[in-house]
Structure 1
Amino acid sequence: MTTALRLAACQFSATADWAANLQRLGLDARTAAERGAQVAVFPEAAMARFGSETAALGQALDGPFADGVRALAEETGLLIVAGMFTPSGDGRVRNTLLVSGAGVETRYDKIHLFDAFGSRESDVVAPGDALVTINAFGTTFGLATCFDLRFASQFSALGRLGAEVLLVPASWGEGPGKAEQWDLLVRARAMDAQAWLLACDQAWTPPAGTDPLGIGRSACIDPLGGVRARLAAGEGILLADVEPSLAADVRARVPVLSADA
């Protein structure tokens, strides 16, 4: 049986300056570690916010932003998940989650791109094509990013791969009904995977055209869809204690993932 974990969702508003954003990650990561967290999740586009010439700002996974995140993970002992942009090789970038710390070093490239509500993420971002799970602290984690939340099958698949805790960085765009949709989707996707779900959004930022800049409302959801903790719109750190073994208990009592896909 896995033991309880303390998760941190570090909700802030990224700028176009990757070095300044990395400095902010450092402040929040150290605070999360001091408060007993083992996992710290930062938003999608934590390296540089959308609308900031992302193609030009993309960095390789051996570049200065990623190396800075690795150094923070080593310093604090945290498993850190942070959104960045990496070169795709076709003139665009990948919308990448860098995962580092606790003996883990991997990436997840966002599969479902935000071509909706007038935005065209695919113009500057190339899609990923692989689900990713990792193991740390005796727990299986699944990864997803923002617009992936609208695709239930991805979360059911992560549940079938054994994910007990889902980590979902986001930069959720503001608009009519968007906050309600976010609240609904994070709960629904936790239920689809029958897993804990920690969603970390960019803090609310004044809208700029169709760029998704964040509404806040980071949340921790249990495997039955219950909201265990939620932030408001502003910057802050959400701390949540989760029991990963609850996922197996829920799957045994409500065996939907074992049914034919």
Structure 2
Amino acid sequence: MRIAVSQLVSGTVPEENLATIVAQTERAAADGADVVVFPEAAMARFGIPLGPVAEPLDGPWASGVREAAARAGVLVVAGMFTPADDGRVRNTLLITGRGVDTHYDKLHLFDAFGFAESDTVAPGGDTVTVDLDGVGLGFATCYDVRFPELFTRLAEGGARVILLPASWGSGPGKPEQWELLVRARALDSTCWVVACGQADPASVGDPPRTTAPTGIGHSMVVSPLGEVRARLGTGPGLLVAEVDAAETKRARELVPVLANRRPDVL
């Protein structure tokens, strides 16, 4: 399976970001990608009021992503915001194309490092896995990476590859934490982890003027044994990597952490 990681800098206008997603999807498909992963908040960056940009899953923005996925013949995963029942929004991954049409709402909200995502975002309540060409894909979003039990649950639910869109907050030690956590979750779950972050706005001459998490880049593709097989820097880029689900099987034979768990005790 060939998976493309589109690391970009989202702006504040959903229609402009959609145009970028359409162009990147076409480019990734031309490079032979089966799956194209965009960051969390690909619809619109953090640091602006999210209520006015949120749309339902059958709204024009999501429909535009669906159409792009259908034209290109790929599965697209893109972060957007959908309305919640309590006046907040949900931080949603739209997962569409190749016979799949579903979504994942972020479970763990980023109430850390002085930021309170839960003020404006309502948490999801379900894990999500899908089957694509016989390969189980699981989904997580950004701050979810700090919760190993989610990745274990996804693996037990059939995931061999976990797709992790993010808009990681900047700060001292944050790039190091990001890489450490992504690699650790691959080892916990013995899954491939494909982590796609927002690029650093400063890399395009637009340093963030907000304390919201607007991205640091450093997207990466990590093997089930924790090896970084491919990575991007801080700026925008498109990376296409080959992901072999058979490596997941081999890793689980070598290091059977899922089979050796003690759910009767822990």
Query: Where on the TM-score scale, by shorter chain, does this alignment land: which range?
Result: over 0.9
Within 5 Å, give how 1:59-208 maps onto structure 2.
59-205=55-201, 206-208=207-209
Give the counterpart letter for 1:50 in structure 2: F
- Note if 1:58 corresponds to 2:54: yes
Preserved CA contact (<8 Å) 2:76 2:97:
yes
Preserved CA contact (<8 Å) 2:47 2:210:
no
SS of 1:32's partner is helix
Q: Distance in 1 between matches of 2:172 and 2:51?
A: 29
Match of 1:46 among 26, 42, 49: 42
Partner of 1:260: 262
SS of 1:188's partner is helix
After TM superposition, give the deviation of residue 152 of structure 1 in Å: 0.8
SS of 2:165's partner is strand
TM-score, normalised to structure 2's length? 0.95
Partner of 1:25: 21
Preserved CA contact (<8 Å) 1:174 1:207:
no
Q: Mean alpha-carbon deviation: is it higher for 204-213 or for 131-140?
A: 204-213
- Note if 1:240 corresponds to 2:254: no
SS of 2:52's partner is helix
SS of 1:199's partner is strand
Unaligned 5+ residue runs, structure 2? 202-206
After TM superposition, give the deviation of residue 207 of structure 1 in Å: 3.1
After TM superposition, give the deviation of residue 210 of structure 1 in Å: 1.9
Preserved CA contact (<8 Å) 1:8 1:40:
yes
Preserved CA contact (<8 Å) 1:117 1:210:
no
Preserved CA contact (<8 Å) 1:59 1:65:
yes
Match of 1:15 among 11, 14, 37: 11
Q: Distance in 2 between matches of 1:207 and 1:118?
A: 16
SS of 2:51's partner is helix
SS of 2:214's partner is coil
Q: Distance in 2 between matches of 1:216 and 1:140?
A: 26
Q: Distance in 2 between matches of 1:192 and 1:93?
A: 30
After TM superposition, give the deviation of residue 151 of structure 1 in Å: 0.5
After TM superposition, give the deviation of residue 225 of structure 1 in Å: 0.1
SS of 1:57's partner is coil
Preserved CA contact (<8 Å) 1:99 1:106:
yes
Runs of 4+ in 1 over 4 A off after TM superposition: none
Q: Mean alpha-carbon deviation: is it higher for 215-224 or for 157-166?
A: 157-166
Preserved CA contact (<8 Å) 1:8 1:240:
yes
For the aligned residue pairs, the C-alpha RMSD in angstroms reads 0.8
CA deviation vs aligned residue, 1:146-188 (integer Å, no higher than 9, x gap):
0000011111111111210000000001001000000111100
After TM superposition, give the deviation of residue 252 of structure 1 in Å: 1.8
Q: Mean alpha-carbon deviation: is it higher for 206-215 or for 161-170?
A: 206-215
Q: Distance in 2 between matches of 1:233 and 1:58?
A: 27
After TM superposition, give the deviation of residue 250 of structure 1 in Å: 1.1
Unaligned 5+ residue runs, structure 1? none
Partner of 2:227: 226
Q: Distance in 2 between matches of 1:251 and 1:183?
A: 22
Give the counterpart letter for 2:236 in structure 1: E
Preserved CA contact (<8 Å) 1:165 1:195:
yes
